[in-house]
Structure 1
Amino acid sequence: MGEMNLKMLLESQSLERCPFPIPTGWFFVDFSDQLKTGEIRNVEMLGQEWVLFRSESGQVGMTDPYCPHLGAHLGHGGKVVGENIRCPFHHWEYNTEGWCKAIPYGKVAPPIIKKQAILRTLPAVEKYGMIWVWFHPKCEAPSWQLPHIPEMEDEGYTGDRRGSWPVHTAIQEVAENGVDFAHLKFLHGAAGIPPAVVNFKDHVIEIDMAGGYIVGKGYGPGLNVFHFTQEGVSATMISYTQPITLERSQMNMSFRHKDYGAGTREAAIAKKLVDHMIGAADGEESAGFESVDFIVWNNKKYRPNPLLCDGDGPILQYRKWFKQFYADGDLSKI
């Protein structure tokens, strides 16, 4: 017997659940119709609390909570005034880009307010009937834009089914399932390990599983669009997970398909495809993520040096691709 590899045997003592920073990218905040004109709301995500508001003209702002003046919390007593959010303490006002637009007293303002935004805000857009923000730990501008999703933006599609589930792990761990094809057989009970082709290009990952049965794209860490096709009928799962804290995420999904018409064979197949995505469809033995994946996600630890075999998917390539979204923090453990 050769020399024992104690490092391998004892590695679990030093493993962490989530050694990842908050990643850079576009992230879902809420549905547009949930934020009314003039409303202010405190939101926890992206590793901290934020203040979300909608101006009188309908523009969305998402800001750091604490006023640059003397640190009052804008989400407790603050007010929307025109296009700005007003601090309750001394009524300093800030627009959706974080520029100070009004100080109702004093004749000499700090010179910096003429040169730059002084309240951190996140670039915000409304798309797919949702509010999205761009997060970068060093406040850099967006390096790509959200894609066009016909199922969410064009006529001729239907489906109001959606779900939201808390998960006690980091967003990278959740998304890694997308390239872990072996677990579909052993955790979900699928008939076999599906063949798959994966391509990584810039901020996009492309997956074709089982010869076109599941075809999807991921756009950075915060948006995935998967098309499931059976008997010529397709249904779409749009996934938009939010990083809440370093060790907590919120999975969100919407399910859409072409408006095949009530009572048609195609509509029945589309419904079964959606059922399959979210849980166990009638007549199927495989389990949906809701019933099995959370058991693993909520209790696992991250192994930065996994022992992989030839049946595993491109997990290391995926991790290398995902690392581009970490612009800050200690990356030596991932």
Structure 2
Amino acid sequence: MSANFFTSLNWTVMDKTTLFIQVCYTVAALVLVWLLHYVFIQPLNRIRDLCDTGYQDQARWDRYGRTKRQLANEARRNKKVGDVPPVFPNGWFALCESEDLKAGQVLAVKALDENLAVFRTEEGKVCVLDAYCPHLGAHLGIGGRVVDDCIECPFHGWKFSGHDGKCTSIPYSKGKVPTSAQVKKWPCHEVNGFVFFWYHAETDKSLEPEWTVPELDVISSGRWKYRGRTEYKVNVHIQEIPENGADVAHLAHLHGPSMLGGSDLTSIDKSNCPGKLNGTSAPILHHHWEVGWQGPEHGAADRHIAVTTIKHDLRLFGRIPFILMEVEAKQIGPGLVYLTLDTSLGRCVLVQTVTPIAPFTQRVLHRLYASPTVIAPYAKLILWGEAIQFERDVAVWNHKTYIRHPVIVSEDRTISKHRRWYQQFYSENSPRIETIMENRKGSLDW
């Protein structure tokens, strides 16, 4: 063979090697760019359904090949409800996030066992109406169309005003619109990245909110950066979730182990948590908490607000604190919390909303905003750590029963205080689980 053949073959091999190296460099560069974008720019978005948290033990012991959803549904059926308070308290509840609702868009939303049509007019105003058209019962949120400041029924084209719920037009009728042709208009308020609506079981108070959702200027002004969200569905009575803020004793036991241990309750090593007598050595990392809960003064105008203060630090070998944080959790009514976090790099605020979809199904949303001094990776680490800790609570909530008269010790007295404070959100006609189950008899279930 000629020398030219070997030379050509050698160049071909070199060309392929060079091409392979270039491809590797390109892929590595793209991965690096994606990683930097994810860490420094893209907000965190963590979503967990009812079956995603708290069913690891059932999955480990299952011998029948059932899915997590099947195991979760079985656990929900087997769970004893307990002697629960009314299932829907009175107050403001989040229906959706502002970014979910574009101008001219309609959403079908289920909240507090109500079916609602939530829409934004072309001018940007949010309206909330009962979902069912009084004509023949079509769902306005499914296929409904926004026309000016009205929503048009997808069945026959009847139009209902977003301002008062009255029918403004029947396209095929030449007569006068019947005065009874209207749907309920719910008070709503868009603030801090959420659309809220006012729910009250008493008819005379259902249209006149008793307080407003306070606006956070750091969010509305755009000065603080949005860094991410988490979303959960939880199988528990709504009161159990805010009551967590007054349950001081559970923090050391459930939330003391490092967040690196995850949220699987069986796998978390609690043997060396602070306060444990059987621990032989200090854990490498643990969370330390100092908590106080304070309700409003008697007769205060803001009696719907309670405050939990938390001093938190992450300790190395039980001695050396190296991540310090002070938190103020302001509970505003039954379904809204503003958590202000003071960290070594600056301040953040976490907005938590809790909305009952059904009596024992809560939708919990968190949105984190951080001051400019809090860099994105640190803010997302805070949100991720909060999510892990919250999921430990979810794993307990999904299986616990409600005990109206618990056996408590003196250190648990804030739980009793919180329950007395929370009673103000129930009224004479607040729905009870017995009534709802009775009303559901004969409903279709495939």
**Same fold flag (TM > 0.5):** yes
Distance 1:42 1:152, change over 3 A: same
Partners of 1:52 and 1:150 lie apart in 2 by: 25
Say yes or no: does 1:128 pair with 2:229.
Answer: no
TM-score by length of 2: 0.62
Q: 2:387 corresponds to which residue?
A: 278
Q: 2:213 corresponds to which residue?
A: 146
CA RMSD of aligned residues (A): 2.8
Deviates more, 1:324-333 or 1:167-176: 324-333
- Report the CA distance between 1:275 and its aligned residue: 4.2
Q: Secondary structure at the match of 1:171?
A: coil
The answer (yes or no) to whether the contact 2:116–2:128 under 8 Å persists in 1 is: yes
Which residue among 279, 290, 295 is the counterpart of 1:199? 295
Say yes or no: does 1:234 pair with 2:347.
Answer: yes
Q: 1:7 corresponds to which residue?
A: none
1:5-84 correspondence to structure 2 within 5 Å: 16=82, 18-84=84-150
Q: 2:248 corresponds to which residue?
A: 181
Distance 1:44 1:111, change over 3 A: closer
Q: 1:306 corresponds to which residue?
A: 406
Partners of 2:382 and 2:143 lie apart in 1 by: 47
After superposition, what is the alpha-carbon deviation per residue over 1:23-66, rounded to whole angstroms, capped at 9, x for unaligned? 22222222222222222221122213212222222222222121
Which residue among 141, 156, 162 is the counterpart of 1:90? 156
Q: Secondary structure at the match of 2:290?
A: coil
Q: 1:9 corresponds to which residue?
A: none
Q: 2:396 corresponds to which residue?
A: 296
Say yes or no: does 1:110 pair with 2:178.
Answer: yes
The answer (yes or no) to whether the contact 2:295–2:421 under 8 Å persists in 1 is: no
TM-score by length of 1: 0.81
The answer (yes or no) to whether the contact 1:237–1:277 under 8 Å persists in 2 is: no
Partners of 2:146 and 2:380 lie apart in 1 by: 43
Partners of 1:51 and 1:319 lie apart in 2 by: 33
Distance 1:15 1:227, change over 3 A: same
Q: Secondary structure at the match of 1:306?
A: coil
The answer (yes or no) to whether the contact 2:234–2:364 under 8 Å persists in 1 is: yes
- In structure 2, the gaps of 5 or more residues are 1-78, 258-273, 275-287, 297-301, 313-324, 435-446
Q: Secondary structure at the match of 2:208?
A: coil
Q: Secondary structure at the match of 1:170?
A: coil
Partners of 1:87 and 1:269 lie apart in 2 by: 47
Structure with a larger share of its residues in helix: 2
The answer (yes or no) to whether the contact 1:182–1:311 under 8 Å persists in 2 is: yes
- Report the CA distance between 1:222 and its aligned residue: 1.9
- Report the CA distance between 1:271 and its aligned residue: 5.5
The answer (yes or no) to whether the contact 1:182–1:313 under 8 Å persists in 2 is: no
- Report the CA distance between 1:228 and its aligned residue: 2.4
Q: 1:254 corresponds to which residue?
A: 367
Partners of 1:71 and 1:332 lie apart in 2 by: 26
Say yes or no: does 1:221 pair with 2:317.
Answer: no
After superposition, what is the alpha-carbon deviation per residue over 1:54-90, rounded to whole angstroms, capped at 9, x for unaligned? 2222222222121123323223443222211122333
Distance 1:122 1:259, change over 3 A: same
> For residue 278 of structure 1, what is the amino acid of its counterpart?
A
Q: Secondary structure at the match of 2:245?
A: helix
The answer (yes or no) to whether the contact 1:240–1:252 under 8 Å persists in 2 is: yes
Partners of 1:261 and 1:311 lie apart in 2 by: 36
Say yes or no: does 1:99 pair with 2:166.
Answer: yes
Distance 1:170 1:91, change over 3 A: same
The answer (yes or no) to whether the contact 2:345–2:374 under 8 Å persists in 1 is: no
The answer (yes or no) to whether the contact 1:235–1:273 under 8 Å persists in 2 is: no
After superposition, what is the alpha-carbon deviation per residue over 1:243-290, rounded to whole angstroms, capped at 9, x for unaligned? 11111001110112210165xxxx7765554444233xxxxxxxx122
> For residue 292 of structure 2, what is the amino acid of its counterpart?
A
Indicate the structure (1 or 2) with the bigger Cα radius of gyration. Answer: 2
Say yes or no: does 1:208 pair with 2:317.
Answer: no
Distance 1:29 1:19, change over 3 A: same
After superposition, what is the alpha-carbon deviation per residue over 1:148-194, rounded to whole angstroms, capped at 9, x for unaligned? 21332234322421110111112211111011111001111264562
Q: 1:243 corresponds to which residue?
A: 356
The answer (yes or no) to whether the contact 1:18–1:246 under 8 Å persists in 2 is: no
Q: Secondary structure at the match of 1:202?
A: coil
Partners of 1:38 and 1:332 lie apart in 2 by: 37
Q: 1:8 corresponds to which residue?
A: none
> For residue 75 of structure 1, what is the amino acid of its counterpart?
G
> For residue 82 of structure 1, what is the amino acid of its counterpart?
D
Distance 1:309 1:36, change over 3 A: same
After superposition, what is the alpha-carbon deviation per residue over 1:261-320, rounded to whole angstroms, capped at 9, x for unaligned? 65xxxx7765554444233xxxxxxxx122x11121001111111111111151122112
**Count of residues paired in the alignment:** 304
After superposition, what is the alpha-carbon deviation per residue over 1:179-215, rounded to whole angstroms, capped at 9, x for unaligned? 1111001111264562414123411111223398221
The answer (yes or no) to whether the contact 2:90–2:199 under 8 Å persists in 1 is: yes
Say yes or no: does 1:119 pair with 2:159.
Answer: no
